[in-house]
Amino acid sequence: MEEKLTIFKTAKIEEPKIIVLVSSVMTWTETPKKQEKIEEALKEDEENENQDREKEEKKSEEKSVEGLIKNEEEAESVEKKIEEPKFVNFEEGDFLTRVPHRDFGRWKNIEDLVLGLGAKENLSVFVVCAGVLYGNGESVLEHHFKSAWLESPQQLPYLHHGENLIPTIHVKDLARIIKFVVDTKPESKYVFAVDNTPLSERKQISIIKAISNGIGTGEVCSVEPKNESWELYLSIDLFVKPSVLLVPEEEAAPPFEWHALSGITQNIYKLNSEFNEKRGLKPIKIFVSGPPASGKTHFSRILSTEYNVPHIKIYELIEECIKKHSEFSPTVQEMLKNNQKIPAEFLAEIFRWKLHMNHCRNRGYILDGYPRNHQEAEMLFMKLKKSEDPPADEEGDPKPKEYELDSEILPKSIIVFRAHSSFLLSRIEKIQHLHHDYRIDRMTRRLRTFREENEISDRSVFDYFSDLNNEVFECECNDDEAETLENLKIYIEREGRPYNFLPNIEEMVEKRRKYIEDRDSEAMEKLKKEKEKVEQMEIERWELRDKRASGRLDLIKKELQVASKEQGIPLRKYLMNNIMPALAEALIQVCKVMPEDPVDYVAELMYAHSKTAKK
């Protein structure tokens, strides 16, 4: 850039040209803070002191001593105030004193080079020093916007105490300022392009709190620097006011329409919408309904994990309502304490409170089993219509309330599980030992209520959405979980898969491939272990047989030895020499083989042995 700018030093410019350099407040970050001039402060305080003294002299003589003491105390307080430096904002005319950040020294040199070309004939030069940029999808503040959107981490980080002042500018306003400079060619060649954020809201902690409150959980925490990319800009501490050209000090209107004149803190919802739009972020709002034991909670839990959206159930929402100390908390606690049923209208208000939260508004939600009927759907998705008309008519009677559809919280995907009662009752019997709520009598009663309200009734909860031209997806219950889940995802993503910081198609394919590989590998490993186990059991079985056979043989030998000692008759010797060896061998074989007819097996062995002996 420097080489291109130096061409203008020697070039002869025949026609009027304009150079506008868009720079950054990073060329000011190391500039010593600007203090109010002490001489002016002393002079002003001296004048105030003289005026006070003249007033005191006019008072009665009785109060003169008290007045002198008071003046002395005031003088001491003035001295103390003068001792403490008072910092003031930088003005555009202070640009000669600016000291850049160590990484922006080159930018300062480029600024000086551009300003040095101002003496050239037919050449107008301007430096637009922009604050920290935000808006239109974010760049510098991307980490905080993304973290708040995902609510991960729950607490947004700010550096140290967070009291440093950060000058900011929306990217659209920066573009309008550049156009304004080009069109008007102001006398000031150095222009501060920063918004008019109130001083207290320029603090780093105020900006981070605004992002967390407007997009995330509302929680923040102080952290030490870790060399993250965003730390460079959030560590700026610079007191800069917008140019008088752009924001007149008096009540005069600005020279152009600002997009975010009051800064990040007062335009956070606008910035939230911009971030969603530019990043392709769309809330995934799903309503899942069906009879008990149809699998709606099971698949709602899976879809909640798949799309990273809150899974909202009645009982869990009531617990959250109490835990977060919402406006409904005292009433809910009192009802639960007295074993009272929460009224339908009040329950709808609790759900509306939840659905308007940042994470539901940005990422979406899965409503699991609520609303349960047409009436509850009307209570939930209809809101009181705002009207500027007086609440009473000419006769003083209150006007009837008017309601309108709250499209902001209306689900886009409506999923209904269908199943025959016999299938559901059979499933309940199989799993009732796993869930204490899955008692046959209780589930039968719930099933009957669901049928009456949404199948027998002329106005079901599904009719409510159909009347609003919302497509209702009916899913027949079966035991093929993979197929059911795939069908649900196809329906939910019928208009395209939202970005929402979710895995893309390639990542999903790779994840699926890895899942299949891991599953097959696990199955093979399991099969291998089972085979090894069977083989080991077979080896142990044969070893046990051999051990038993060997034990029996030893026992026979011992008995024969005892019998031989006790009976020394020739018959015994004859049997021992001719019969017992063959018989013992036959018995050992019987123990090893364990035939179905051991006697017949021994007879065959003895017969075979007799033939061998004859030969």
- What is the Cα–Cα distance from 457 to 570, expressed in whole angstroms? 104
- What is the Cα–Cα distance from 49 to 63, expressed in whole angstroms? 17
Each domain of the chain, given as residue ranges in start order, spans: 2-30+89-278, 38-83, 283-386+402-502, 541-614
Tokens representing residue 137 in the block: 């999808």
- What is the Cα–Cα distance from 489 to 475, expressed in whole angstroms? 12
CB 334 within 8 A of CB 302: no
Element (H, E) at 585: helix 580-593
Torsion sign across C-alpha atoms 316, 318, 323, 326: positive
CB 168 within 8 A of CB 207: yes
CB 199 within 8 A of CB 168: no
Note the pLDDT of residue 39.
47
pTM of the model: 0.74
CB 289 within 8 A of CB 417: yes
Note the pLDDT of residue 346.
93
**CATH architecture assigned to 283-386+402-502:** 3-Layer(aba) Sandwich (3.40)
| 125-135 pLDDT tens trace | 999 999 999 99
Q: Residue 404's beta-bridge partner residues?
A: 383
> Which residues of the chain, if any, have pLDDT below 50?
38-42, 62-65, 68-69, 78-83
CB 30 within 8 A of CB 100: yes
Note the pLDDT of residue 53.
61
Tokens representing residue 144 in the block: 């905080």
Note the pLDDT of residue 303.
94
- What is the Cα–Cα distance from 160 to 168, expressed in whole angstroms? 20
CB 498 within 8 A of CB 281: yes
| 98-118 pLDDT tens trace | 999 999 999 999 999 999 888
Q: Do the domains 2-30+89-278 and 283-386+402-502 sit in the same CATH topology, yes or no?
A: yes
Tokens representing residue 240 in the block: 């800069």
What CATH number does the domain located at 2-30+89-278 have? 3.40.50.720
The tally of CA atoms less than 13 A away on the side-chain side of residue 268 is: 21
